[in-house]
């Protein structure tokens, strides 16, 4: 079978398509014939060596959707032919850029027939991240105001829709090119993140009760300055200390709560994925697929997921 692997760390050009043996499931694992695999910025961090991999050569990729074609011992919830989707591979175990993959059952769930495999693969990681941020950590309530930095990104464009379904008032930031698209996804107000007066224009419309910062700590002080008293600020992403605090006193005076998170820490992931599949089935949240690529184009896909400007997700289709 074909699998995308890197034999050394480096840029997108180190990704190659190799012929390897089909995988065998271990205890509590299934083999999935991959119909689609999501491409995420985190995949590039493993390739570059910013995040550790257990061995080389290594197959990247976290998201997948497909059909069960092998069942290991101890597996009771899944059978041959089941449609499934999941996320969390590519971190300590071989990833999803392949025609077949092995997954522990705690990383996947069943996928209804009416959901496209490409949609499920595009949705798994970013949907789980948005759910953990807004539902698990922030406990967003109806009529609260939620600010989502980077609304055009994979997590951002899904988080807009999820917050909207939760009854929140949704603000987001993005390039002006995407304002109309993000309003169509459910944003009540969209702001150009390059504005010098961004703090003022946001707070004139409302003070956020919840902030989802998809650039980790790039906006730590900014978030503190515009947040409502008692706000919850959830950080995801891979940025470093560029935006560290200059006035930490405001966080104390407002009793702000910061939570930095990773999707890979999600407890009971099948339960979250099942809820996400319900949202997909009902059409309450729909991932935007910017473009699909073949396995042979994985290098280009990873290059574009970091550097190209677009709304939504990139997906590999083996």
**Which two structure tokens, joined as six digits, stand for 1?**
């079978």
Pair 52, 42: CB distance under 8 Å: no
pLDDT of residue 241: 52
**Which distant-in-sequence residues (6+ apart) come within 8 Å of 39 by Cβ?**
61, 293, 298, 301, 302, 305, 313, 314, 315, 316
Phi-psi label, residue 215: left if phi above 0, alpha if psi -120 to 50, beta otherwise? alpha
DSSP labels for the chain? -EEEEESSSSSGGGEEEEE-PPP---TTEEEEEEEEEEE-HHHHHHHHTSS--SSSSB-----EEEEEEEE-TT--S--TT-EEEE---SSSS--SSBSEEEEEGGGEEE--TTS-HHHHHHHHHHHHHHHIIIIIIS---TT-EEEESSTTSHHHHHHHHHHHHTT-EEEEEE-GGGHHHHHHTT-SEEEETT-TTHHHHHHHH---SEEEETTTTTTHHHHHHHPPTT-EEEE-SS--GGG--S-THHHHHTT-EEEE--GGG-SSHHHHHHHHHHHHHHTSS---EEEEE-GGGHHHHHHHHHH---SSEEEE--
What pLDDT does residue 239 have?
A: 60
CA distance 211 to 157: 14
Set out the domains of the chain in order of their start, with CATH numbers.
2-111+288-316 (3.90.180.10), 124-263 (3.40.50.720)
> What's the confidence (pLDDT) of residue 96?
98
Q: pTM for the whole thing?
A: 0.94
Give the per-residue SS3 of 94-106: CCCCECEEEEEHH
pLDDT for the residue numbered 149: 95
- Quote the pLDDT of residue 240: 55
Provide the pLDDT for residue 215: 77
Given this model, what pLDDT does residue 292 score?
Answer: 98
Mean pLDDT by 10 residues, the chain (318 residues): 98 98 98 98 95 96 98 97 98 97 98 97 97 97 96 95 98 96 97 95 97 83 95 82 69 90 92 96 95 98 89 96
């Amino acid at each position: 079978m074909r699998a995308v692997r890197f034999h050394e760390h480096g840029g997108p050009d180190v990704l190659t398509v190799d012929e390897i043996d089909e995988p065998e499931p271990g205890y509590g694992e299934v083999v999935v014939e991959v119909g689609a695999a999501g491409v995420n910025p985190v995949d590039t961090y493993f390739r570059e060596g910013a995040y550790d991999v257990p061995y080389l050569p290594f197959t990247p990729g976290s998201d997948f959707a497909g059909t069960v074609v092998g069942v290991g011992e101890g597996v009771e919830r899944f059978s041959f032919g089941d449609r499934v989707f999941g996320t969390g591979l590519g971190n300590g175990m071989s990833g999803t850029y392949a025609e077949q993959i092995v997954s522990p059952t705690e990383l996947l769930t069943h996928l209804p027939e009416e959901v496209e495999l490409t949609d499920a693969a595009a949705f798994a990681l970013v949907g789980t991240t948005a759910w953990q941020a807004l539902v698990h950590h922030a406990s967003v309530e109806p009529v609260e105001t939620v600010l989502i930095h980077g609304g055009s990104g994979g997590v951002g464009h899904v988080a807009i829709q999820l917050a909207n379904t939760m009854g929140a008032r949704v603000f987001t930031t993005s390039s002006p090119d995407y304002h109309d698209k993000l309003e169509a996804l459910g944003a009540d107000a969209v702001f150009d993140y390059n504005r010098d007066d961004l703090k003022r224009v946001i707070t004139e419309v409302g003070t956020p009760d919840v902030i989802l910062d998809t650039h980790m700590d790039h906006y730590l002080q900014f978030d503190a300055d515009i947040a409502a008293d008692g706000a919850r600020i959830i950080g995801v992403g891979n940025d470093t200390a560029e935006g560290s605090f200059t006035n930490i006193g405001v966080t104390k005076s407002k009793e702000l709560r910061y939570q930095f998170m990773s999707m890979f820490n999600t407890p009971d992931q099948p339960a979250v994925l099942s809820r996400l599949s319900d949202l997909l089935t009902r059409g309450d949240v729909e991932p935007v697929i910017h473009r699909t690529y073949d396995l042979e184009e994985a290098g280009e896909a990873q290059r574009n997921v970091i550097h190209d400007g677009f709304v939504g997700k990139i997906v590999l289709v083996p």
